[in-house]
Amino acid sequence: MREMLEGGELDVLTGDYLAELTMLILGRDRMKDPALGYAKTFLRQVEDCLGLAMDRHVTLVANAGGLNPAGLAEKLRAVAEQLGLRPKIAYVTGDDLLERAAELGLGAPLTANAYLGAWGIAECLQAGADIVVTGRVTDAALVAGPAAAHFGWAADDYDALAGAVVAGHVIECGTQATGGNFAFFTEIADLGRPGFPIAELRRDGSSVITKHPGTGGAVTVDTVAAQLVYEIQGARYAGPDVTARLDSIRLSAAGPDRVRIDNVRGEAPPPTAKVSLNTLDGFRNEMTFVLTGLEIEAKAELTRKQLESWLPTRPAELEWSLARLDRPDADTEERASALLRCVVRDPDPNRVGRAFSAVAVELALASYPGFTLTSPPGNGAPYGVFTPGYVPADAVRHTAVLPDGAVVRIGAPRATRDLLELAEPELPDPLEATGSETLPLGTIALARSGDKGGNANVGVWVRTDAQWRWLAHTLTVDALRTLLPEAAELPITRTVLPNLRALNFVIHGLLGKGVAYQARFDPQAKGLGEWLRSRHVEIPTELL
């Protein structure tokens, strides 16, 4: 926060504090103390930077209210009073549906929060707020709300709103838009500490993505494209205010560390509101065995048989995975070793606590040669499951509480549009290659991947029209199944985004019940794109 306030000009400083897993963590906080449920980090940052923000006339807009925006607003007033400052503080609420979960058909979750849109934030800003904190809003609403307030947009200014939503999506993950997690990272001269991205918004909804002068990282067409394909589901990017058409986006360089986003088209939002549901599902634990040298498979089989037969009670779920990281005639012990992991889950914490992990340790003198573990025995920990829910948009009581305490109810969208599947756009003519080389896909292709509940997405794009003619016809769903065997039996959806020379794949069910449940090696699929880029394919010689 201080870096952004001191580094250059800003009108609004936004902050996205809420991920799917964060909501589960905040829900557990609230179980311990009903006064909690907000992101305490934001409170500490404001204590450090409030005076600076007010001196520079920068408005703060953050979703750090989590499950308790009113409680965070109260804490902020106390901090401001201690600092001798009098900011106008407002908050947005109405996303929390927990008390009505049963009547809305959402079951009995730990948390149930509808994704709110931009208009509550806009209402607070139009009332003169210096700080606006919210509960669960869409990440992009933190940008679209200030833009709608500043430009006076109407609810049906769909193209402008969609442009702001796209800009918000680009900057929501901070330095992922300025070189962080970028596939061609070796091209960036200074990645020691990337600067945070800034969206300069225009009245028509177009924007320029940039960063403060003198900061590290880079803003290029590719770093922006990398964030655009991150954690998306298809060509329609739905929100509570507008559905942005990602297939309409046009990117262009607008100077050093400046990328223009324009041509974004918007449609009326869907008639339902998405709800983030987190449920405590039980307790989990895991132990990892190190298997070194010869007969790795036999050592793994002995460990499985011994552990399962020694357990006093078998947990409800018991999963084994063997990572063959070993290699023959290795020059270090680590390179001669494989990892055997056992993950257990059960509603009863005792079955996955010391009753499980102590047994793993007790094998030490009675099992395979070279027995060792990566950790001592420990107790199990609770885990949750994320699922999306949907309710009619008018069932959400979106509310803005203004600095003077006035309460303003934000109505549901007057016009809505069902999310229908788009026909696949016409593909370019295939590239007629005269020769090829077997090389990693990532020799010419970039990628970014992530998680959406139990699904994983991976976006892949290239830089030239010739490369696009090859990629669009080569990287089919069947090809992806071959390149990523873990996804071979799962449903996969492919979306073509010609303006970005990109393909987006959603692999349904790869992450099971979500990150808090998942025992997969990469539970949030953050490395999935890099795995794909490392797989070998036949690349036409003229594209290299």
User: What's the confidence (pLDDT) of residue 518?
Assistant: 63
Give per-residue pLDDT as tens, 377-391. Answer: 999 988 888 889 999
pTM of the shown model = 0.93
Domains of the chain with CATH codes: 166-267 (no CATH), 283-385 (3.30.70.380), 436-543 (no CATH)
- The answer to whether 326 and 292 are in contact (CB under 8 A) is yes
Check residue 258 and give its pLDDT: 98
Q: Per-residue pLDDT tens for 399-436?
A: 999 999 999 999 999 999 999 888 889 999 999 989 99
The reported pLDDT for the residue numbered 146 is 98
The mean pLDDT value for 67-71 works out to 97
Nearest-angstrom CA–CA distance, 381 and 506:
30
Q: What is the rounded CA–CA span in Å between residue 116 and residue 134?
A: 9
b/e for 200-234, b at 16 or more Cβ within 10 A? ebbeebbbbbbbbeebbbbbbbbbbbbbbbbbbbb
What band does 516 get if pLDDT is binned at 50, 70 and 90? low
**pLDDT for residue 482:** 97
> In the predicted model, what is the mean pLDDT of residues 186-200?
96
Q: Work out the percent of the chain whose per-residue pLDDT is above 70.
A: 99
Give residue 21's pLDDT: 79
pLDDT in tens, 244-289: 999 999 999 999 999 999 999 999 999 999 999 999 889 999 999 9
Q: Which two tokens stand for residue 21?
A: 């897993």
Of the candidates 463, 451, 421, 415, which has an alpha carbon nearest to the alpha carbon of residue 528? 451
CA gap 38, 27 in Å, rounded: 9
3-state secondary structure 450-461: EEECCEEEEEEE
Ramachandran class of 183: left when φ > 0, alpha when ψ lies in -120 to 50, beta otherwise? alpha
pLDDT at 514 over 80: no
Tally of residues, the chain: 544
Higher confidence at residue 441 or residue 519?
441
Apex 367 CA angle, 365 and 372, nearest 5: 70
More confident residue, 336 or 518: 336
- What is the average pLDDT score of the chain? 95
The Cα–Cα gap between 277 and 472 comes to 36
Average pLDDT for 453-464: 95
Do residues 273 and 112 lie in contact, with contact meaning Cβ atoms separated by under 8 Å?
no
- The answer to whether residue 519 scores a pLDDT higher than 80 is no
